[in-house]
Structure 1
Amino acid sequence: MAENWAADINGDEGEDEALRIAIALSLGQDPTSASIDLTQDEPTPEKTPEPARNEVLASAPAPMSSLSALGLDRKKMEEERLARANKRKAAELDSTAAETVRPQQRQKMSEHVPERQTAIRGGLITTSEPSTAPLLPFPKGVVRKTWVYGQPRLGDDIKIEEVLQKDKLEIAVLSSFQWDEQWMLSKIDIDRTKMYLVAFANNEAQKEEIRNNVPQNRIRFCFPKMSGPGSMHSKLQLLKYSNYLRIAVPTGNLIPYDWGETGVMENMVFIIDLPIFETDEQRKAQKLTLFAEDLFYFLSAQGLDEKLISSLQKYDFSETSRYGFVHSIAGSHSSEESWRRTGYCGLGRAVSALGLASEREIELDIVTASIGAVTYDLLRGLYFACQGDSGLKEYQLRTAGRKGKSISGGCNDTEMLDKHIRVYFPSLQTVKESRRGKDGAGTICFTSKWWSAESFPRKILWDCQSTRMGVLMHSKLMFIRQSGSGSGRNKNFAYVGSANLSESAWGRLVKERGTGNPKLTCRNWECGVVMEAPSRPKKAASNDSSTSSVEDMGVFAGQVPLPMKIPSTPLDQDRTPWFYMDG
């Protein structure tokens, strides 16, 4: 089933080239070279493009997308461990008096704890209530912007330290496309925390090299299977504490500038904290939510240890019933069970399961950091998925058109897609005016070749300017609002995750050779979360197709921070997109 899957995707050549260039840039290599050495430890200074070389602070190590260089100085680690142990003992002595304070004298806090207070208490909040269950920082789930150096904190952002809470963290399952190993280990106490890193390796020899370079009793690896070219692009984090599990889904990688430490780039992160069951009876009685089932399905497909996955059932997933876990699994998916669960087909499944499906017209606003060889086929598939379709509607319209049959059915009209879809991507002008200019946009990818192609839907592109002055975005978001006529309330929801706007990320439904059955092909590993926003009264559809209004997008207030300025400016020949190769 998998041997011919790559041939079924349109634009393969262009996306392969973009992937090759993007990896080269992330490794600090010359993107014009014929091959990429994924095992190179250090970028060659004379060949390092300026955007990659200046991407991080001078004091921070350069990020890598391979973990082959994760060599650790054991002697130095031991010295640092002893120093930390001595520091902890001194802190314990200093805190003895505080620990003897009676519980009823301690300050009570609500479950919605500001991050600053959470950080002070290490993320675990105690209370004088009789119940032993902890009050969790984010029991219902939240979306936060990443903190950015030099920007005011307005209550809607979070630091990597506040996500990880290293002083309490026992087990961390981390995945990323790019890694800065030294920076990552500075955020985690390796003496306290066992780590599972979900990463890409080029071959078995590289896997073995990576494993042998770390203390295997503290760090283990999971290498998801790749079917041909593609990226291990998901950024899921599973963080275990003494009595709760934190699930975090960032849009950024484990590198300092994606977490705001250089002051030039922002991202987003979804977080939810799940309490541990107090008894085995409670655990056995749990009926897993669809979110939990799809999360476990994704982790199992990646090849994560089954015992670790099974251990997650010790936590109460009931609050995840309001969310959908959406993923893309690299490879070909021929069985109905598999193709309906992943890619844009899985997005439609989640929308339907959450009760958000509707044939009513929608407004679809997409924030992306990279754009592939996009066609109206992909836009149509995403549009229908956001209406709750399984993927078959777009596939049937596409194949009918190729056979010369008459086509009817709403959004097959490209003018309709141009009217209702807006994709936010920075212009060259926005990049030049950002805090680091062109040097700060090394991970924002698009090419003039695709922009100039006849098949590219140029009318959907709008300038992406952050609400934070001079900051660029590596975020991947979708905002969906129902706007057409019909009975019932308007349903609005959002997606936060790792998927950019490309077929590699969302997949393509094709007919399997031999059987004629549907088959979904994806190149990348991706994951994200779908969440409903508060409903709003219906209002008459506007004839202004320029952009969605601030009032309309306000339905997401309190649910997903709106990162871009609206209304925006369309990208055209006068205000061109940022092209990472010829910008």
Structure 2
Amino acid sequence: MLQEGAHGKWTVSSSDESTEENSDSEKPSTSSLLDAARGRTSGPQYPCSEARKAAHKRKASPLKLGDKSFSTETPPAGKQRASQEGLGWCLSSSDEEPEDQEKHAHKETQKEEKCDAPKEHALNLSGDDELSENQQAEDYNETLSEAQDTWDLLNGGNPFRFFLTKVTGIEQSYNSGALHIKDVGWLVRQYPQEFRKKPLLIVHGEKRESKAELLAQARPYENISFCQAKLDIAFGTHHTKMMLLLYEEGLRVVIHTSNLIAEDWHQKTQGIWLSPLYPRLPQGTTGSAGESETNFKSDLISYLMAYNSPTLKEWIDLIQEHDLSETRVYLLGSTPGRYQGSDKEKWGHLRLRKLLKEHASSIPAQESWPVVGQFSSIGSLGADGSKWLCSEFQESLVAAGSSVTSLLKCDVPIHLVYPTVSNVRQSLEGYPAGGSLPYSIQTAQKQLWLHSYFHKWSAEVSGRSHAIPHIKTYMRPSSDFQKIAWFLVTSANLSKAAWGALEKNGTQLMIRSYELGVLFMPSAFGLDKGYFHVRGKMLSEGNDSATYFPVPYDLPPEQYGSKDQPWIWNIPYTNAPDTHGNMWVPS
């Protein structure tokens, strides 16, 4: 697929569980993307977390049901922490508990100039230089057929500007209105050859040997520069996924849930918020010009300033020069640190609490509405719910208006959506999809109480294969699940590292990681009733699509049955084959 419109200035951040997928047998680490740009190749590498490594190994060497030439013993906790140093850009989840967590992350920024084709195709790229002529022709024809639909979609077809990524192997109706990066070969090859030497700023969280390796690989290239994301609190990661795309016509901001690696754009349910194309302000404009009613511009600048890096000043200045007034969402981020006083409400779950108190409408009987959290990883939350989930975190989720709910927090239902073993086994990828769900047995055994809140992942017709979620969403639906008071799509999984935890008798909020998301509030979309309508199924097609918020899974969520178990990545599953006839032994 020939995408001459694949230009722009990219700020791409990715950590989480990440790996590249060039084929079923070889997935280089993200650092090898630089090798690809230089024409160098290398043997198979095993980047990022232990969970992703296990997924890579099982894809490369699948074990069929009945194969007894393996051990099904669960590996001890101490053996799960193999060193990640020396693997280049080793990416990690920010959400396992500190003692079990891998700690590597990265964020990339790219500069590209304008091309002739429609610029709206920045997220719909292909650049595989090794495609056959026939394949190139087929892809080009497909590009032409999709171009106008995509242009229309990005320019008003979706009032919420919230999209899912496409997957294959499901009914086409479930891909309606989805975006994707096609044939991700990978990042460097996404651009036309003539633009691959444009300035590239990489914002990363690497340290020690892995940082030295990263710098060494880029040393021959004068166009590559770096910005260190400071992670001064142990076990935090750089987990934000964001792009800033600069065109001659303006600036676009993209906040999403997928790492910019092939595996995350293949057969996963991911979320994308795509901003309008922000025009440049007239020269000499100063002050608060170009600000939205949601304060998005100043909040985005505050987030970038939190890196405390002179190299990001160019981006801050560029944002200042553009008109972001058409933005209808609120920015909700996390940055590492310990915050007191009014600073407590700038980040994490206290930021969510503040936004809901200020902008959520009071709705009759809303006190009994449940809260729903959906995520792909889980941290250590304590010995029982009172330690964090059902205390400070839930208090933030149920905040509405200026008044505090009169209902006891324990009476507000909490629905946590996380895939079961069966969900993973029956997914499009089968068991290897579980490499993107790094909930470890060491963490799970400490918080068995949490599993009583779990609900199945259900994103299409029962009995059919589905895409495992890497998206993370939180919302407040009505008791009948026909309305939602607000909706959040974010990089933040269910963890204190991501959302923050109160310290010193509640006077201080401590956050370990960088996270970023956008909050959808009905009032910002002119809905004076205080809620969005939703459907029971996630379809978003039809003439009334603008009146329904596209929740990416079925409502109401279905609670785990007596035989359901949450997916845990580092134990074997050999009783039943997955959709490819394989079993899971993560050794």
In structure 2, what residue type is equivalent to 1:24?
A: E
Structure-2-length-normalised TM-score: 0.63
Give how far 1:35 is off.
Answer: 3.8
- Higher RCO, 1 or 2 (CA under 8 Å, sep at least 6)? 2
Give how far 1:297 is off.
Answer: 1.2
Change (3 A) 1:411 1:440: same
2:304 to 278, 299, 303: 299
Residue 165 of structure 1: aligned partner: none
In structure 1, what residue type is equivalent to 2:181?
A: I
Residue 270 of structure 2: aligned partner: 267
In structure 2, what residue type is equivalent to 1:311?
A: L
Give how far 1:138 is off.
Answer: 8.0
| Distance in 2, Cα, partners of 1:24 & 1:552 | 32
Indicate conservation of the 8 Å contact 2:492/2:498, yes or no. Answer: yes
Give how far 1:538 is off.
Answer: 9.6
Residue 40 of structure 1: aligned partner: 87
In structure 2, what residue type is equivalent to 1:580?
A: W
5 Å matches for 1:182-197?
183-189=186-192, 191-192=194-195, 193-197=198-202
Indicate conservation of the 8 Å contact 1:144/1:158, yes or no. Answer: yes
Indicate conservation of the 8 Å contact 2:374/2:473, yes or no. Answer: yes
Change (3 A) 1:243 1:492: same
Indicate conservation of the 8 Å contact 2:395/2:409, yes or no. Answer: no
Is the partner of 1:297 in helix, strand or coil?
Answer: helix
1:510 to 494, 503, 509: 503
Residue 349 of structure 1: aligned partner: 354
1:328 to 326, 330, 334: 334
Residue 277 of structure 1: aligned partner: 280
1:147 to 144, 160, 166: 166
1:523 to 512, 536, 547: 512
| Distance in 2, Cα, partners of 1:38 & 1:551 | 44
Give the aligned CA root-mean-square deviation in angstroms.
4.4
| Distance in 2, Cα, partners of 1:191 & 1:272 | 27
Question: Does residue 210 of structure 1 match 2:214?
Answer: yes
| Distance in 1, Cα, partners of 2:166 & 2:234 | 36
Q: Percent identity?
A: 19
Residue 380 of structure 1: aligned partner: 391
Is the partner of 1:294 in helix, strand or coil?
Answer: helix
| Distance in 2, Cα, partners of 1:245 & 1:432 | 41
Question: Does residue 360 of structure 1 match 2:346?
Answer: no
Residue 452 of structure 2: aligned partner: 459
Residue 536 of structure 2: aligned partner: 550
| Distance in 2, Cα, partners of 1:527 & 1:466 | 24
Question: Does residue 120 of structure 1 match 2:147?
Answer: yes
CA offsets 1:45-69 (integer angstroms, 9 cap, x no match): xxxxxxxxxxxxxxxxxxx96679x
| Distance in 2, Cα, partners of 1:121 & 1:564 | 28
Indicate conservation of the 8 Å contact 1:360/1:483, yes or no. Answer: no
5 Å matches for 1:172-251?
183-189=186-192, 191-192=194-195, 193-203=198-208, 206-214=210-218, 217-226=222-231, 227-251=233-257
| Structure of higher CA gyration radius | 1
| Distance in 2, Cα, partners of 1:460 & 1:202 | 37
Residue 574 of structure 1: aligned partner: 563
Is the partner of 1:441 in helix, strand or coil?
Answer: helix
Indicate conservation of the 8 Å contact 1:244/1:273, yes or no. Answer: no
| Distance in 2, Cα, partners of 1:450 & 1:206 | 26
Residue 157 of structure 1: aligned partner: 178
| Distance in 2, Cα, partners of 1:223 & 1:339 | 24
Residue 476 of structure 2: aligned partner: 480
Indicate conservation of the 8 Å contact 1:199/1:221, yes or no. Answer: yes
Is the partner of 2:318 in helix, strand or coil?
Answer: helix
Give how far 1:472 is off.
Answer: 1.0
| Distance in 1, Cα, partners of 2:460 & 2:403 | 38
Change (3 A) 1:357 1:298: farther
| Distance in 2, Cα, partners of 1:200 & 1:366 | 27
Indicate conservation of the 8 Å contact 2:51/2:569, yes or no. Answer: no
Give how far 1:247 is off.
Answer: 0.8
1:410 to 407, 422, 430: 407
Indicate conservation of the 8 Å contact 1:145/1:561, yes or no. Answer: no
In structure 2, what residue type is equivalent to 1:475?
A: I
Change (3 A) 1:312 1:189: farther
Residue 323 of structure 2: aligned partner: 316
Is the partner of 2:317 in helix, strand or coil?
Answer: helix
Residue 23 of structure 1: aligned partner: 49
CA offsets 1:297-339 (integer angstroms, 9 cap, x no match): 111112352132122111111112x2110011123223x2322
| Distance in 2, Cα, partners of 1:431 & 1:508 | 31
Residue 118 of structure 2: aligned partner: none
| Distance in 2, Cα, partners of 1:291 & 1:465 | 32
| Distance in 1, Cα, partners of 2:570 & 2:458 | 20
Residue 338 of structure 1: aligned partner: 343
In structure 2, what residue type is equivalent to 1:347?
A: L
Indicate conservation of the 8 Å contact 2:477/2:484, yes or no. Answer: yes
Residue 16 of structure 1: aligned partner: none
In structure 2, what residue type is equivalent to 1:479?
A: M
CA offsets 1:18-59 (integer angstroms, 9 cap, x no match): xxx97233356998255412322599xxxxxxxxxxxxxxxx
Of 135-144 and 311-320, more deviation after overlay is shown by: 135-144
Residue 167 of structure 1: aligned partner: none
Indicate conservation of the 8 Å contact 1:140/1:273, yes or no. Answer: no
Is the partner of 1:340 in helix, strand or coil?
Answer: helix
Change (3 A) 1:202 1:120: same
In structure 1, what residue type is equivalent to 2:493?
A: N
CA offsets 1:89-125 (integer angstroms, 9 cap, x no match): xxxxxxxxxxxxxxxxxxxxxxxxxx97796379889
Give how far 1:157 is off.
Answer: 0.6
Indicate conservation of the 8 Å contact 1:370/1:500, yes or no. Answer: yes
Give how far 1:223 is off.
Answer: 1.9
| Distance in 1, Cα, partners of 2:214 & 2:265 | 25
Is the partner of 1:210 in helix, strand or coil?
Answer: helix
Change (3 A) 1:189 1:388: farther
Residue 575 of structure 2: aligned partner: none
| Distance in 1, Cα, partners of 2:312 & 2:149 | 28
Is the partner of 1:576 in helix, strand or coil?
Answer: coil
Change (3 A) 1:551 1:39: closer
Change (3 A) 1:38 1:350: farther
Is the partner of 2:168 in helix, strand or coil?
Answer: coil
Indicate conservation of the 8 Å contact 1:26/1:65, yes or no. Answer: no
Unmatched tracts of structure 2, length 5 or more: 1-46, 58-74, 91-102, 108-126, 134-141, 573-587
| Distance in 1, Cα, partners of 2:422 & 2:324 | 45
Give how far 1:432 is off.
Answer: 1.2
| Distance in 1, Cα, partners of 2:263 & 2:443 | 27
| Distance in 2, Cα, partners of 1:429 & 1:445 | 16
CA offsets 1:178-224 (integer angstroms, 9 cap, x no match): xx9x6111223474353322222023x64354234226543322221
In structure 2, what residue type is equivalent to 1:411?
A: L
Residue 61 of structure 1: aligned partner: none
Indicate conservation of the 8 Å contact 2:356/2:401, yes or no. Answer: no
In structure 1, what residue type is equivalent to 2:161?
A: V
Question: Does residue 432 of structure 1 match 2:437?
Answer: no
Give how far 1:382 is off.
Answer: 3.2
| Distance in 2, Cα, partners of 1:267 & 1:147 | 9
Indicate conservation of the 8 Å contact 2:105/2:239, yes or no. Answer: no
Change (3 A) 1:124 1:494: closer
